[in-house]
């Protein structure tokens, strides 16, 4: 009889542990989901569960985590991104003005056109730095998720199966 009680207690504990892990996994998936980063030609793209995210959604998710390092990198991203708009806008204006002036019969202003190309290049460089900061912020977000919640689903190469890793932090 005592052996039966022990087995029953063990079964109940295992079921409760399974339900707790399942509830934690569902909560984690609803609130904080891993953001996948894929390299693009000009800028990285971000996905969650295969759905593409806009940059403002990525910002919202990173800020919701409340990690200082990820938030600092996100602020740095915004600084460089907005700073890139100034030279890009000026460069675009100078190139457009040069082409428009030449199209309506004037002499092509080479200096203005080349200055516009250079300013646009500076804008692209600044935006490239901004995108690397955003990718760093997302990387930190994913790292904190793994450390804080200890749950990640890792697909096995060549299969559609995954492994669930559980770790507890004290």
Reported as a single tens digit per residue, the pLDDT across 34-88 is: 888 888 777 888 888 888 888 889 899 888 888 899 999 999 999 999 999 999 9
Q: Tokens 């019969």 map to which residue?
A: 105
Domain that holds residue 111: 1-6+29-167
**125 inside domain:** yes
Query: Sheet harboring 36-38: ordered strands across?
Result: 36-38, 45-48, 51-53
**18 inside domain:** no
Name the domain count of the chain: 1
Instruction: With 0.85 as the threshold, say if the pTM is over it.
Output: no
For residue 163, give the H/E element and its range.
strand 162-166
| Torsional class of 37: left (φ above 0), alpha (ψ -120 to 50), beta (otherwise) | beta
């Amino acid at each position: 009889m005592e052996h039966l009680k022990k087995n029953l207690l063990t079964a109940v504990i295992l079921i409760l542990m399974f339900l707790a892990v399942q509830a934690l996994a569902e909560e984690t998936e609803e609130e904080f989901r891993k953001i996948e980063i894929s390299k693009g030609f000009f800028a990285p793209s971000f996905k969650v569960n295969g759905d593409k995210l806009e940059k403002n959604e990525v910002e919202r998710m990173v800020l919701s985590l409340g990690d200082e390092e990820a938030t600092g990198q996100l602020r740095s991203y915004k600084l460089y991104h907005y700073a890139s708009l100034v030279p890009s806008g000026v460069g675009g204006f100078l190139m457009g003005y040069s082409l428009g002036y030449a199209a309506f019969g004037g002499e092509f202003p080479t200096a203005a056109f080349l200055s516009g190309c250079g300013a646009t290049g500076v804008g692209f460089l600044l935006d490239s730095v901004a995108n690397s900061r955003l990718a760093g912020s997302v990387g930190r977000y994913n790292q904190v998720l793994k450390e804080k919640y200890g749950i990640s689903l890792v697909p096995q190469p060549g299969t559609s199966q995954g492994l669930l890793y559980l770790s507890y932090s004290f």
